[in-house]
C-alpha cells in the first residue's frame, strides 16, 4: 500500500484518505522534470520527455514501483490521467514549448477497459491548448503479456484520433518486433543497453543501424536515449538515429527557465560542397504534391483528388506539418465504389474518417545521402517513393524514378573521380577531404599519407603487371582497415595513398595503421620468388644504376593530427605531410606522428 515516507510531512502533502485512492497525496508529493529531445543534425529541441521525480515521498521506490502499486490497487487509469495534467502543466510553463512535443510515458495496463478515463485524455489537452499531435504517448513492451485485445485496440484508437505513439525501450524484451508491426508507432526509442558504449562495440552499432533502417522504412523516427558521451552521440548519428536525449545533450530540469531552443555542441558540421550538391539534386527532384491534414474530412480529401487529376497519392500531415503517412487513390476507389450509386454504405463512406485510409510510407530527412535513400526505398514493399522532411516537417515526395535518376548521376560522378586501377577515390576526392579536414574543427582530425618503400626495384624486377597487383592488394587492405562514416580512403596515384578520420583518438588511429602495415607486409610476400622470400631481400639496381640489396615491400605511414578547434590551410597540411614522409621512412617502425595544436 502507498504510505508517506519518513521525510518532512509538510513536503509530502496531506495524508491519503482511508479507503480512497491516494491520488491527491501522490500528486502533491511528485514533481516532473523535463529532458530535451534534440534533432541529431541541427541541435534544435524537438520535444521534452516528462520524467517523474520524488517517488520516494509516496512510499514507492521508483516510478515502476509507483505504477505497479497503483495497478495492484486498481486506480492506475485515474492516476495516469492526473499525471498527464501535471506533466502538461510543467510543459506549458516552458517558454520554449511552442512548436515542440511532450513525450509522456503511458503504462497502458487495462487501457480501454471499464470506462477508462485515459480514453478521454484529449479533453485534458483542450484545457491546456495542446494539439493531440503535440503529445507523444510512450508505450513499452514490458507489460505486453498482460495487455488484452481491448487494450491494443484502445491504443490504436488513441493513435487514430491524433496522438503520436512511441515504442519505448526497444530491444529490451522479446516482443518488440511484433509491437513495431502492430502499433505502427511514429517513434522508436532504442533501449539504453544498445547505446552504452556503442562507439566501441560494432555489434551494438550494427543493431542500432538495422533498427534505424527498419524504422525509416515503416515511417518512424528513431530516438537514442541516455546518451552520455560525445563518442556515443556521434556513433548514434552515424547509425541513422534522428533524435538524441541524455546527459551529454542536457540533464532533466524541473526549472522552466532553464530551457533552451537549441544546443550548439551537437550541431552537425556544415556539409561540404559535394554533400551540398547532392542535397541540391534531391531537392530539385522533389514532387510538390497536394497535402491533406490528418483531421480533415473525407470530402476535403476527395476534392483534392478531383482538382489534382495527376495525383495518385496524397501525403497526410499533422498540425505541425509533420507527415503521418500517405493516402493512395486506389484504396479510396476500392471502398467508395464497392456499392451502387444508391448504396447507403457507399454514401456513409463520405462520413468515414480519412485517417482510416492512412498507410505508412518510408520517410527520410533532406540531409540523407542518396545511397541511404536507396537502401530505405529498396527495403520497403510496394512503396511509391519516400517522404522527404527538413527539420522533421514535410518538404516533398521523392518518387522511385527520381531516386534512380539521382543515384545514376551520383555513380557517373564517382566514376569520373575514381583511380582507374584501384577504383578508389582519386585526386579530386583527396583534395576535397583535405579541404574539409582543414575547416572542420568540431573534433580531432587525422590525415594519413601512405607510400611504398622499395617499390621501384620490385616493379623493375617483377614487371608492371606484378607491381599493379601489389597496388591493388594494398587498396583492398586499406578499405578493410579504414571504415566508418567519418573516415576516408583514396588513391593519389602510383604507390601513394591517403587515409583520413574526422573523429577518433590519435593512438587508436596509429594502432589501425600499424595493423594495415603488418597485413600488407605479410600478404605481399607471396608476390616474390621463393629465394627472395627466404633471404628477406632482393638484389636490384637503384635509381643510380648501382646493384644493391633491397628489403621486401613495405609501406611508410605519416599521421598528421589537427586538434579540435584548430583550423589549418590545405597548404599547411600538404607541407606538414611532406616533411612527415621523410620522418616515417627514417623510423624503424615506418610510422611518424605529428600533432598541430592551438
Query: Taking 50 as the threshold, does the pLDDT of residue 504 lie above it?
Result: yes
State the pLDDT at residue 345. Answer: 58
The burial class, CB within 10 Å (0-12 / 13-18 / 19+), for 471 is: buried
State the pLDDT at residue 411. Answer: 77
Sort residue 346 into left (φ over 0), alpha (ψ -120 to 50) or beta.
alpha
Q: Is the separation of the CB atoms in 363 and 216 below 8 Å?
A: yes
- Tell me which H or E stretch contains 54: none
> Cβ contacts of residue 436 below 8 Å, gap of 6+?
272, 502
Rg (CA), the chain: 30
Distance in angstroms (rounded) separating the CA atoms of residues 399 and 230: 36
> Cβ contacts of residue 572 below 8 Å, gap of 6+?
438, 596
Query: Taking 80 as the threshold, does the pLDDT of residue 271 lie above it?
Result: no
Sort residue 140 into left (φ over 0), alpha (ψ -120 to 50) or beta.
beta
C-alpha cell at 111: 487501457
Task: Give the pairing of strands 547-551 and 537-541.
Answer: antiparallel
State the pLDDT at residue 178. Answer: 76
C-alpha cell at 23: 491520488
Residue 248 DSSP class:
T
Sort residue 590 into left (φ over 0), alpha (ψ -120 to 50) or beta.
left
Residue 425 DSSP class:
B
Q: Give the pLDDT band of residue 514 (cuts 50, 70, 90).
A: very high
State the pLDDT at residue 16. Answer: 46
Query: Taking 50 as the threshold, does the pLDDT of residue 6 lie above it?
Result: no
Distance in angstroms (rounded) separating the CA atoms of residues 594 and 575: 12
Residue 17 DSSP class:
P
Q: Is the separation of the CB atoms in 252 and 270 below 8 Å?
A: no
> For residues 351 and 155, which has the higher predicted lDDT (pLDDT)?
155
3-state secondary structure of 119: helix
Query: Taking 60 as the threshold, does the pLDDT of residue 15 lie above it?
Result: no
Distance in angstroms (rounded) separating the CA atoms of residues 89 and 163: 18
Q: Is the separation of the CB atoms in 554 and 520 below 8 Å?
A: yes
pLDDT digits (tens, 9 = 90+) for 552-566: 999 999 999 999 888
Distance in angstroms (rounded) separating the CA atoms of residues 12 and 305: 59
State the pLDDT at residue 342. Answer: 58
Tell me which residue of 348, 425, 168 sits closest to 176, measured CA to CA: 168
C-alpha cell at 338: 464497392
Query: Taking 80 as the threshold, does the pLDDT of residue 174 lie above it?
Result: no
C-alpha cell at 245: 536525449
Report the pLDDT averaged over residues 145-167.
Answer: 83
State the pLDDT at residue 336. Answer: 62
> For residues 273 and 290, which has the higher predicted lDDT (pLDDT)?
290
pLDDT digits (tens, 9 = 90+) for 523-534: 999 999 999 999
Residues, the chain: 598
Report the pLDDT averaged over residues 211-220.
Answer: 91
Burial letters 563-576, b for 16+ CB under 10 A, else e: eeeeebeeeebeeb
Q: Give the pLDDT band of residue 481 (cuts 50, 70, 90).
A: very high
Q: What is the percent of the chain with per-residue pLDDT over 70, rounded to a whole number?
A: 90
Least confident of 370-374, 442-446, 581-585: 370-374
C-alpha cell at 222: 528513431
Q: Is the separation of the CB atoms in 313 and 397 below 8 Å?
A: yes
Tell me which residue of 437, 569, 595 sits closest to 507, measured CA to CA: 595
Q: Is the separation of the CB atoms in 169 and 191 below 8 Å?
A: yes
3-state secondary structure of 363: strand
DSSP string, 206-240: HHHHHHHHHHHHTT-EEEE-S--SHHHHHHHHHHT
Tell me which residue of 340, 398, 350 sits closest to 370, measured CA to CA: 398
State the pLDDT at residue 19. Answer: 46
Query: Taking 60 as the threshold, does the pLDDT of residue 541 lie above it?
Result: yes
Report the pLDDT averaged over residues 501-525.
Answer: 93
Burial letters 319-355, b for 16+ CB under 10 A, else e: eeebbbbbbbeeebeebbeeeeeeeeeeeebeeeebb
Report the pLDDT averaged over residues 116-137.
Answer: 93
Q: To the nearest whole number, what is the mean pLDDT of the chain?
A: 86
Report the pLDDT averaged over residues 11-15.
Answer: 41
Query: Taking 60 as the threshold, does the pLDDT of residue 182 lie above it?
Result: yes
State the pLDDT at residue 450. Answer: 96
| Inter-CA distances, 203 with 10, 97, 194, 232, Å | 51, 37, 9, 14
C-alpha cell at 11: 513536503
Instruction: Show the 3-state SS of 64-107.
Output: HHHHHHHHHCCCHHHHHHHHHHHHHHHHHCCCCCCCCEEEEECC
Distance in angstroms (rounded) separating the CA atoms of residues 497 and 493: 7
Query: Taking 70 as the threshold, does the pLDDT of residue 322 lie above it?
Result: yes
**In sequence order, what are the beta bridge partners of 491?**
497
Instruction: Show the 3-state SS of 431-472.
Output: HHHHHHHHHCCCCCEEEEEEEEECHHHHHHHHCHHHHHHHHH
Report the pLDDT averaged over residues 89-114.
Answer: 90
Amino acid at each position: 500500500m502507498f504510505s508517506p515516507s519518513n521525510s518532512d510531512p509538510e513536503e509530502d502533502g496531506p495524508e491519503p484518505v482511508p479507503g480512497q485512492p491516494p491520488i491527491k497525496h501522490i500528486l502533491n508529493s511528485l514533481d516532473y522534470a523535463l529532458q530535451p529531445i534534440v534533432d541529431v543534425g541541427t541541435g534544435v529541441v524537438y520535444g521534452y520527455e516528462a520524467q517523474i521525480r520524488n517517488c520516494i515521498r509516496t512510499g514507492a521506490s521508483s516510478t515502476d514501483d509507483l505504477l505497479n502499486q497503483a495497478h495492484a490497487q486498481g486506480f492506475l487509469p485515474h492516476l495516469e490521467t492526473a499525471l498527464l495534467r501535471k506533466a502538461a502543466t510543467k510543459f506549458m510553463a516552458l517558454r520554449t514549448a511552442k512548436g515542440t512535443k511532450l513525450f509522456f510515458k503511458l503504462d497502458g495496463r487495462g487501457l480501454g477497459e471499464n470506462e477508462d478515463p485515459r480514453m478521454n485524455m484529449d479533453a485534458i489537452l483542450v484545457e491546456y491548448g495542446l494539439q493531440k499531435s503535440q503529445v507523444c504517448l510512450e508505450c513499452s513492451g514490458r507489460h505486453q503479456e498482460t495487455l488484452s485485445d481491448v487494450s491494443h485496440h484502445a491504443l490504436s484508437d488513441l493513435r487514430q484520433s491524433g496522438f503520436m505513439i512511441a515504442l519505448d525501450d526497444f530491444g529490451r524484451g522479446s516482443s518488440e518486433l511484433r509491437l513495431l508491426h502492430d502499433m505502427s508507432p511514429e517513434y522508436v526509442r532504442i533501449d539504453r543497453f544498445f547505446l552504452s558504449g556503442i562507439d566501441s562495440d560494432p555489434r551494438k552499432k550494427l543493431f542500432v543501424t538495422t533498427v534505424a533502417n527498419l524504422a525509416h522504412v515503416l515511417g518512424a523516427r528513431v530516438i537514442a536515449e541516455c546518451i552520455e558521451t560525445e563518442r556515443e552521440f556521434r556513433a548514434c548519428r552515424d547509425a541513422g538515429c534522428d533524435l538524441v536525449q541524455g546527459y551529454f545533450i542536457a540533464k532533466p530540469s524541473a526549472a522552466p527557465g532553464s530551457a533552451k531552443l537549441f544546443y550548439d555542441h551537437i550541431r552537425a558540421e556544415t556539409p561540404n560542397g559535394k554533400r551540398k550538391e547532392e542535397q541540391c539534386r534531391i531537392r530539385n527532384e522533389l514532387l510538390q504534391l497536394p497535402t491533406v491534414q490528418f483531421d480533415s474530412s473525407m470530402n476535403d480529401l476527395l476534392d483534392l483528388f478531383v482538382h489534382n487529376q495527376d495525383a495518385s497519392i496524397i501525403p497526410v500531415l499533422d498540425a505541425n506539418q509533420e507527415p503521418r503517412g500517405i493516402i493512395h487513390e486506389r484504396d479510396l476507389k476500392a471502398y467508395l465504389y464497392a456499392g451502387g450509386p444508391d448504396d447507403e454504405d457507399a454514401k456513409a463512406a463520405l462520413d468515414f474518417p480519412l485517417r482510416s485510409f492512412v498507410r505508412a510510407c518510408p520517410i527520410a530527412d533532406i540531409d540523407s545521402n542518396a545511397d541511404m535513400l536507396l537502401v530505405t526505398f529498396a527495403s520497403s514493399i510496394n512503396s511509391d517513393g519516400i517522404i522527404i522532411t527538413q527539420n522533421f516537417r514535410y518538404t516533398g515526395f521523392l518518387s522511385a524514378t527520381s531516386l534512380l535518376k539521382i543515384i545514376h548521376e551520383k555513380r557517373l560522378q564517382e566514376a569520373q573521380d575514381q583511380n582507374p586501377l584501384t577504383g578508389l577515390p582519386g585526386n579530386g576526392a583527396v583534395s576535397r577531404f583535405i579541404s574539409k579536414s582543414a575547416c572542420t574543427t568540431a573534433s580531432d582530425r587525422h590525415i594519413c599519407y601512405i607510400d611504398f618503400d622499395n617499390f621501384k626495384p620490385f616493379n623493375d624486377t617483377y614487371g608492371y603487371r606484378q607491381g599493379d597487383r601489389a597496388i591493388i592488394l594494398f587498396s583492398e587492405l586499406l578499405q578493410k582497415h579504414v571504415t566508418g562514416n567519418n573516415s576516408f580512403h583514396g588513391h593519389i596515384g602510383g604507390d601513394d595513398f591517403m587515409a583520413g578520420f574526422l573523429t577518433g583518438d590519435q593512438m587508436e588511429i596509429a594502432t589501425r595503421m600499424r595493423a594495415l602495415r603488418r597485413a600488407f607486409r605479410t600478404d605481399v610476400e607471396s608476390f616474390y620468388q621463393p629465394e627472395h622470400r627466404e633471404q628477406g631481400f632482393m638484389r636490384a639496381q637503384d635509381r643510380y644504376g648501382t646493384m644493391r640489396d633491397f628489403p621486401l615491400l613495405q609501406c611508410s605511414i605519416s599521421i598528421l593530427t589537427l586538434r579540435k578547434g584548430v583550423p589549418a590551410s590545405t597548404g599547411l597540411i600538404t607541407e606538414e605531410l611532406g616533411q612527415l614522409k621523410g620522418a616515417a621512412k627514417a623510423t624503424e617502425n615506418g610510422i611518424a606522428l605529428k600533432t598541430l595544436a592551438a
